[in-house]
């Protein structure tokens, strides 16, 4: 195995990054008269994997705006990081 293959395998072990290909925003009632809870289901690599984020109500709108503006969004499963690319400054 050459050095490039070893580096590639090492990176794959350290990073488990998937492309967000679809997402589903939801609101869940917690109880009558109580605050609800927002969730964001991420469909990764066309259904290879899924992940559900529990989203604070203050974060939901900016998160949806970023998802709509990003041309390519990825999610690091190990670190729980959502990454947006191709955003205009």
Reading the chain (89 residues) residue by residue, the pLDDT tens digits are: 567 666 666 655 566 899 999 999 999 898 888 888 999 999 999 999 999 999 999 999 999 999 999 999 999 999 999 999 987 76
Q: In this predicted structure, what is the pLDDT of residue 2?
A: 67
> What's the CA angle centered on 29, arms 24 and 34, to 5 degrees?
140
Contacts of 49 by beta carbon, 8 Å cutoff, 6+ apart: 18, 77
pTM, two decimal places: 0.76
- Count other C-beta atoms under 10 Å from residue 15's C-beta: 13
- For the chain, the domains span 17-85
């Amino acid at each position: 195995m050459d050095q490039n293959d070893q580096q590639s395998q090492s990176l794959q072990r350290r990073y488990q990054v998937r492309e967000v290909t679809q997402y589903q925003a939801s609101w869940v009632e917690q109880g009558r008269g109580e605050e609800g809870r927002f969730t964001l289901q991420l469909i990764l690599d066309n259904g290879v994997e899924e992940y559900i984020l529990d989203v604070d109500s203050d974060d939901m709108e900016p998160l949806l705006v970023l998802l709509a503006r990003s041309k390519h969004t990825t999610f690091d499963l190990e670190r729980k990081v959502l990454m947006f690319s191709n955003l205009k400054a």
